[in-house]
Amino acid sequence: MNIIVCIKQVPATNDVKINKDTNTLVRDEAQSVINPFDTYAVEEGVRLKEATGGKITVISMGIPKVADILKECIAVGADDGILLSDRAFAGADTLATSAALAAGINKIGDYDIIICGKQAIDGDTGQVGPELAERLGIPHITCVRKIEEIKEDYIRAQRMTDFGYEVIECSLPAVITVVKEINEPRLPSIKGMMKAKKAVIPVWTADDVGADKDKIGLRGSPTKVIKTFTPEININTEIIDGAPEEQAHKLVEKLLQLQIKVPV
Amino acid sequence: MDYFLTEEQQMIKELAARIADEKVAPVARELDEKEEFPYEIMKILAESDLFGVYIPEEYGGLGGGITEQCLVIEELSRACAGVAVSYAASGLGCTPILLFGTEEQKQKYVPDIAAGKKLAAFALTEANAGSDVSGIQTMAVKDGDYYILNGTKQWITNGGEADVYVVLAVTNRSKGSRGFSAFIVEKDTPGLSFGKKEKKLGIRASATREVIFTDCRIPKENILGKEGMGFIVAMKNFDRTRPGIGAQAVGIAQGALDYAASYAHQRYQFGQPISSFQAIQHMLADMATQTEAARALVYATARMIDAGAKDFSKESSMAKVFASDVAMKVTTDAVQILGGYGYMRDYPVEKMMRDAKITQIYEGTNQIQRNIIALELIKQYASKK
Ligand SMILES: Cc1cc2nc3c(=O)[nH]c(=O)nc-3n(C[C@H](O)[C@H](O)[C@@H](O)COP(=O)(O)OP(=O)(O)OC[C@H]3O[C@@H](n4cnc5c(N)ncnc54)[C@H](O)[C@@H]3O)c2cc1C
Ligand SMILES: Cc1cc2nc3c(=O)[nH]c(=O)nc-3n(C[C@H](O)[C@H](O)[C@H](O)COP(=O)(O)OP(=O)(O)OC[C@H]3O[C@@H](n4cnc5c(N)ncnc54)[C@H](O)[C@@H]3O)c2cc1C
């Protein structure tokens, strides 16, 4: 079974530093990680490969640094990584992202299943998977929490809903997007890490994948982000130091000073 | 301190550290309380290839040596020494096969041990043979194409959990320790059984059991080396595995230091963090210095062995004795720094102190290590005259 896994790089949310003067994100220091949902996608791919044989290709559209994250996927069992990177891809909304990914996937060719995460934790739309399926003209199942059965040209899976789950079957090839309940991602192996270190990640440009320039990047994006801003919140924070008891005393004093009613 | 590890060693250390922090530390307390063997963690270590770090590539390993093995043991021990010894004891059982096994024996047993599909164990100690190995009574009597084993080994780490046992038995009583031989015994051999799991002070996640032989027939090709080589097998094995116990001790000490140092910073008494008291500062400084010195000695010894040195009993004993005494001291001081909290099971340092004690006892007590070191010194200086 040939498996393609789509992964996105997202900022590590617990590691974001803010420039104190400008109140903006310190970009070069912000660590990037694989979108957490995509780790389940990679793990499911590895498990499918272990069960059925075949090959796993991991693909991402992003900046050159994303090659490192593709290598991490090789360390946990993927065979190859491919990076779609080109100025022409930049500024993509979900529709343009799916166009770029579809072009890349068509170039890889020969696939039985494509696995995506349920959603990216930054963009958060959950649209890329289904859009990708539409563009490739194949069925999709979103929010998969378990693959019940998979054969050469058939898949039956449990789709998680707010109230339980649905059992959905469709033909292969298909796109599935996965939720975290589906598995527990493994840690890398030393052999995998060594393979990853040696791996060369090919970088494909828009021309390499024959993408239609009107459908990708900013030009291909019907959605435009006009302005991003942080809502203004006026909170003065004061850190009280000292031993816990001392802190508690000072805190109560302050609250009394501010005439905030303390329920007794 | 920078030990200039190779890129591969760095990779092994980081992965072992990640497993220790993410998979071992969260369950260490529970494994200790329940005296539960860490099956789940053994599986993770297997999938990560870490059981094979010291095993040559032709037998399915990663081709490293004792240094790599020590790095894994050290990192795991930071989180739980009981988990670490279950990993390390498999090496204690596998090393004699690597050192003395025939090509066939190696091909048959080592790849599964390297892959972590099978655990190994080394069974030497008996009720009347602890420090004095020459006291063993387990007999192996030749009977055609078989040896028949009878006797009881005690306190065998991984007993009952391991699939492959390297066992020392007497083949010729009249020859004393030159009449011992080592055998490979598979777990499912009829006549092999296991006693109850011992209740211990520390390393409670590890399994320590009696290994009992009752007319246990094993094929004669399962002998390691030749008849009469058993004592040599045991001594050469320990020479190579004692640095691993040193590494276990270094890991325990590091875990205790890490916890105590961050605690000292957070605990306030007399209106200030206790880390502002010079008494505490000096204790922490000594703990850090001793731990680093122990690590340096363990790594230096491991590297000396990996580089192909011929004679290293003395260095190997020094690494074990020094590091284990450091672990005992550092963990005791860590409990002291935490005060009453350190004495409570809600905090991890009392376990570390209990765990540290074993490193002064097994694979030869520290008294025996000092005997070995002294004997080598005497030999060395006597020959100079
Ligand atoms: C804060 C923010 C707001 C945004 N708002 C909008 C908006 O309102 N409308 C809009 O159309 N776009 C928006 N975008 C842009 C858009 O979300 C991303 O550019 C698009 O690449 C992916 O959409 P997503 O992050 O929602 O992914 P999702 O659709 O949530 O991702 C689902 C899965 O698709 C796959 N995937 C997603 N992106 C990639 C990739 N680059 N490479 C490989 N696989 C991938 C992964 O498997 C992922 O788990 C926004 C982006 C950000 C950061
Ligand atoms: C948890 C645990 C796990 C173990 N795992 C294994 C295993 O996997 N395989 C295995 O074969 N064994 C194992 N052992 C056994 C271990 O190696 C022995 O306990 C150890 O060698 C000491 O032997 P002993 O306990 O009989 O002590 P003894 O030999 O009875 O020693 C008692 C005391 O006398 C001292 N002493 C003895 N002789 C001398 C001397 N000549 N000079 C100075 N002092 C001396 C000792 O240092 C010690 O302080 C394990 C033991 C424990 C507790």
pLDDT in tens, B298-353: 999 999 999 999 999 999 999 999 999 999 999 999 999 999 999 999 999 999 99
A168 φ, ψ (degrees, to nearest 5): -125, 135
C-beta of residue B334 within 8 angstroms of C-beta of residue B349: yes
Per-residue pLDDT of chain B (385 residues; tens, 9 = 90+): 999 999 999 999 999 999 999 999 999 999 999 999 999 999 999 999 999 999 999 999 999 999 999 999 999 999 999 999 999 999 999 999 999 999 999 999 999 999 999 999 999 999 999 999 999 999 999 999 999 999 999 999 999 999 999 999 999 999 999 999 999 999 999 999 999 899 999 999 999 999 999 999 999 999 999 999 999 999 999 999 999 999 999 999 999 999 999 999 999 999 999 999 999 999 999 999 999 999 999 999 999 999 999 999 999 999 999 999 999 999 999 999 999 999 999 999 999 999 999 999 999 999 999 999 999 999 999 988 6
Q: Are residues B203 and B70 in the same domain?
A: no
Which pLDDT does position A262 carry in this prediction? Answer: 60
Whether residue B1 is contained in a domain is answered as: no
Query: Which of B12, B268, B275 should we substitute to test contact with A (largest number of A Cβ atoms within 10 Å)?
Result: B268
Residue A70's Cβ-side half-sphere holds a number of Cα atoms within 13 Å equal to 28
Could you tell me whether strands A140-151 and A154-161 are parallel, antiparallel, or unpaired per DSSP bridges?
Answer: antiparallel
Q: Is residue B310 part of a domain?
A: yes
- H helices present in A28-127, as ranges: 36-52, 66-75, 94-108
Tell me how many domains chain B contains: 3
Do B115 and B132 share a domain, yes or no? Answer: no
Is the residue at B70 inside a domain? yes
Q: What would the two tokens of residue B378 be?
A: 């005497």
Residues B239 and B315 in one domain: yes
How far is CA A160 from each of CA A134, A167, A178, rounded to the nearest angstrom? 21, 9, 9
Please tell me whether residues B99 and B177 are part of one structural domain.
no
Average pLDDT along chain B: 97
Q: Is the pLDDT of residue A20 over 70?
A: no
Distance B39 CA to ligand 1 centre (A): 40
Give me the residues of B, 255-284, that contact A with CB < 8 A.
268-269, 271
Q: Are residues B333 and B199 in the same domain?
A: no
Whether A183 lines ligand 1, by a CB cut-off of 6 Å, is no
**Protein residue with least CA distance to atom 12, ligand 2:** B125
| pLDDT at res. A94 | 93
DSSP A86: -
Could you say which ligand is closest to the alpha carbon of residue B161? 2
One domain for residues B248 and B380: yes
**B198 and B235 in one domain?**
no
Residue B49: list chain A partners with CB under 8 A.
189-191
Quick check: helix, strand or coil at residue A23? coil
Minimal-distance CA residue to ligand 1 atom 51: A123
- Residues B275, B290, single domain; the answer is yes
**B61, B173, B179, B218 from B144: Cα distances, Å:** 35, 19, 19, 11
User: According to the 3-state scheme, what is the secondary structure of A146-170?
Assistant: EEEEEECCEEEEEEEECCEEEEEEE
Give SS3 for B44.
helix
Map residue B364 onto helix, strand or coil.
Answer: coil
| Band (A238; pLDDT cuts 50, 70, 90) | confident
C-alpha A49: how far from its chain's center?
21
Last residue of a domain, one of B119, B154, B180: B119
Domain span at residue B92 reads 7-119
Which of A125, A142, A224 has the most ligand 1 atoms within 8 A of CB, as the residue to mutate? A125
Q: Point out the domain boundary residue: B176, B199, B230.
A: B230
Q: Are strands A164-171 and B120-123 parallel, antiparallel or unpaired?
A: unpaired
pTM of the predicted model, to two decimals?
0.87
Chain A hits for B19, CB-CB cut-off 8 Å, are 187
Domain boundary among B197, B230, B263: B230
Ligand with minimal distance to B89 CA: 2
Q: Is residue B377 located within the same domain as residue B250? A: yes
B235 and B379 in a common domain? yes
β B180-186/A154-161 pair status? unpaired
Same domain? For B316 and B298 the reply is yes
Q: Return the residue whose CA atom lies nearest to atom 34 of ligand 1.
A: A128
Residue B69's CB: how many other CB atoms inside 10 A?
A: 27
Q: The domain spanning residue B172 has which CATH number?
A: 2.40.110.10
- What domains can be seen in chain A, in order of their start residue? 2-204 (3.40.50.620)
User: Hey, which residues of B are catalytic here?
Assistant: 363
Interface test with B, best of A71, A187, A195, A246 (most B CBs within 10 A): A187
**What CATH number does the domain containing B18 carry?**
1.10.540.10
DSSP for B56-90, please give it.
-GGGTS----HHHHHHHHHHHHHH-HHHHHHHHHH
Q: Shortest CA distance to A194 belongs to which of B11, B214, B335, B60? A: B11
Say if residue A263's pLDDT is above 90: no
Structural domain contains residue B2: no
CB B169 within 8 Å of CB B140: yes
